[in-house]
Amino acid sequence: MDTHRWLEDGPADQREVWRTGLRDLLAEVFASDGVPALSEAFVRGIDEGSGHRHLLALDDGRVVGVLAVDAKEMDDAAAIAELAVHPAVRRRGIATALLREAATGIDPNSQFSVWSHGDLGAARGLAQGRGARTVRELLKMTVPCGVGDPVRDTLLTAVASARTTVEAADLEILDYTAACAEFGGDVVDEEWLRVNNEAFAWHPEQGGWDLDRLRGARTTDWFDPAGVIMLWYRDEVQGPHCAGVHWTKHPAGDTHGEVYVVCLADAVRGRGLGGPLTLLGIGHLIDGGAEAVDLYVEGDNTPAVATYRRLGFEVVHRDVVYRGMV
């Protein structure tokens, strides 16, 4: 190992070389582990000016490791990072060195947490060796829903019931395109942000979004405005209000669709709309040809996990956050 460098601090021509090397590293890690090492936001941050920072471990100029962190959290006592090390050079102290180097730029009392996608053995060993503890678990749950799958009819019946429930609550179901045509794009985006930030005020990644963040998230090649299901009600004095948003994800050619983001406005919380809104999005994914639907849920959200199990979902993957890595 010869050096560490922050990707974003390098000269322009060198940054392009490092970006290519970093993408190659992530591809090789995925091929070895079967799990993406970095979340979608940090991968986008390689090219975007999103405020993400990527500390590279270089061996004779080759990128063999990376630690990614949100620059806004660098001074936070609970900064959350993501790590990847090339399979050929693991257990040589590269991850530890990256953590120590990154920690020089944050609060000395930091508990510096790290995501472990897939909770693989190497990550567990690193965490145990450093006395870290698990503070968060994110479950991926999947249900098969292709033609012929026994759960499909159950889901479609539940989707029809969900539509009836929403309409009985005097809410209008519109996708993003239809909502923009009805209310104007500026109003729709403003309402989308309001609902998102109300629902995720507690959430370290999904909360506190602004318009630039929302627009940036929609630049992905899989974004489909028809796959953003929104619930609306009209106020004669204050105008239209969004009650909820279900942003689905179904990349072209992928057999799996995803319950990407579901959020409800504070004004309608407690009215039993979260389940129906989730089902409306699942119905859209099934209609779009998805043969399976994935969703992510916090491991300690026992009621939600139980609800999804009743719909046929099963846990297929776990991501965890370890705290106290430095």
Give the pLDDT of residue 113: 84
Fold of 146-290: Aminopeptidase (3.40.630)
The whole-number pLDDT of residue 75 equals 56
User: How many whole angstroms separate alpha carbon 18 and alpha carbon 26?
Assistant: 12
* Residue 94 counted as an annotated binding residue: yes
286 is in an annotated binding site: no
β-sheet bridge partners, residue 125: none
Give mean pLDDT, residues 91-112: 79
Task: Measure the CA–CA gap between 164 and 2, rounded to whole angstroms.
Answer: 63
Is 98 a known ligand-binding residue?
no
**Backbone dihedral angles phi then psi of residue 210, each to the nearest 5 degrees:** -120, 180
106, 108, 24: which is closest to 58 by C-alpha?
Answer: 24
Does residue 242 carry a pLDDT above 90?
A: yes
Helices (H), the chain: 12-33, 40-44, 94-103, 121-129, 150-168, 176-183, 185-199, 211-217, 274-287, 302-310
Q: Could you give the C-alpha distances from 51 to 41, 79, 185, in angstroms and in order? A: 11, 14, 26
CATH 3.30.70.360 for domain 3-138: no
Over 80: is that where the pLDDT of 106 sits? Answer: no
Would you say the CATH fold of 146-290 matches that of 3-138? Answer: yes
Q: Is 249 labelled as part of a ligand binding site?
A: yes
* pTM for the whole structure: 0.81
Proportion of the chain above pLDDT 70, given as a percent: 93
In the chain, where the domains are located: 3-138, 146-290
Q: Is 263 annotated as a binding residue?
A: yes
91 among the known binding-site residues?
A: yes
The pLDDT value given to residue 77: 56
Q: Is 123 annotated as a binding residue?
A: no
Is residue 180 a known part of a binding site?
no
Angle (CA) 296-259-192 rounded to 5° is 110
Least confident of 63-67, 77-81, 115-119, 193-197: 77-81
Determine whether the annotation assigns residue 40 to a binding site.
yes
Give residue 51's pLDDT band: very low, low, confident or very high (50, 70, 90).
confident
Candidate from 39-43, 44-48, 114-118 with smallest mean pLDDT = 44-48
| 262 annotated to bind ligand | yes
Residue 92 counted as an annotated binding residue: yes
The DSSP 8-state label assigned to residue 119 in this structure reads: -
CB-side exposure of 220: number of CA atoms within 13 Å? 20
Confidence of residue 50 (pLDDT cuts 50, 70, 90): low
Q: Is the pLDDT of residue 1 over 60?
A: no
Of residues 176 and 204, more confidently modeled: 176
pLDDT for the residue numbered 126:
82
Residue 96 assigned as binding residue: yes
Check the annotation: does 258 bind a ligand. yes
Ligand-binding site membership of 296 (annotated): yes
Q: CA dihedral defined by 283, 285, 287, 291, rounded to 10 degrees?
A: -110
Percent of the chain's residues with pLDDT above 90: 72
Mean pLDDT rounded to a whole number for the chain: 91
User: Is 95 marked within a binding site?
Assistant: yes
pLDDT score recorded for residue 78: 61
Question: How far is residue 22 from each of residues 35, 43, 123, measured CA to CA in Å?
Answer: 16, 10, 19
- Three-state DSSP at 126 gives helix
DSSP-derived pairing of the beta strands 172-175 and 228-235: antiparallel
